[in-house]
Structure 1
């Protein structure tokens, strides 16, 4: 059975708080522990693209996100499914790749 091991004591509570970011790190060891715990995040946006005044004034333009799936998607995919089943309109290298994968998956044995 696993032992309940508590590493935090009254003597090292401040060191733990500094190493985990609840307090500012005081030593290089605490700073390296904090950096290991929270690695640097790489941002996609550049500083020039962010307007802090729009954020503070709550005047930035918000774009709604459409989470509904469209009925047109199913229709779009139906053409691809039929092309894959009938092998019509597909390039030859794709048809060969599909046949090879079908053989490797233990599909139709009559094609040997």
Structure 2
């Protein structure tokens, strides 16, 4: 089985720094190591689409956020309401608080 050994010494420290991109590579060996570590990135943006002045001046137009609430909000929370109603191990003071809140909101009059 191969052993994972890294032999960095003061003599070859600059070679390691150049091969990993912390310094500019000087030889073809250092450049090939750097290319193995960082393969070429393929961009999906064309050069014509990038405006450096917008980036420098921060003048691009921002798209507004869509913060619409779901139209089916009642359906979204119906499962939570049923869980709260059917849960039998709630403390008595919480059940009383729920009943009081339900009564104040004009809820079902049959639950007294």
TM-score, with structure 2 as normaliser: 0.54
1:54/1:11 CA distance change after superposition, 3 Å? same
Partners of 1:35 and 1:58 lie apart in 2 by 33
Q: Report Cα offsets for 1:43-98 as digits up to 9, x if no partner.
A: 010000000000100001222555x796469x9xxxxxxxxxxxxxxxxxxxxxxx
Partners of 1:69 and 1:35 lie apart in 2 by 47
Partners of 1:4 and 1:35 lie apart in 2 by 21
Larger radius of gyration: 2
Q: Which runs of 5+ in 1 are unaligned?
A: 76-112
TM-score, with structure 1 as normaliser: 0.54
Q: Which runs of 5+ in 2 are unaligned?
A: 76-112
Q: Report Cα offsets for 1:5-28 as digits up to 9, x if no partner.
A: 441100100000000000000000
Q: Within 5 A, what are the aligned runs for 1:1-112?
A: 5-64=5-64, 71=70
1:69/1:9 CA distance change after superposition, 3 Å? farther
* Number of equivalenced pairs: 72
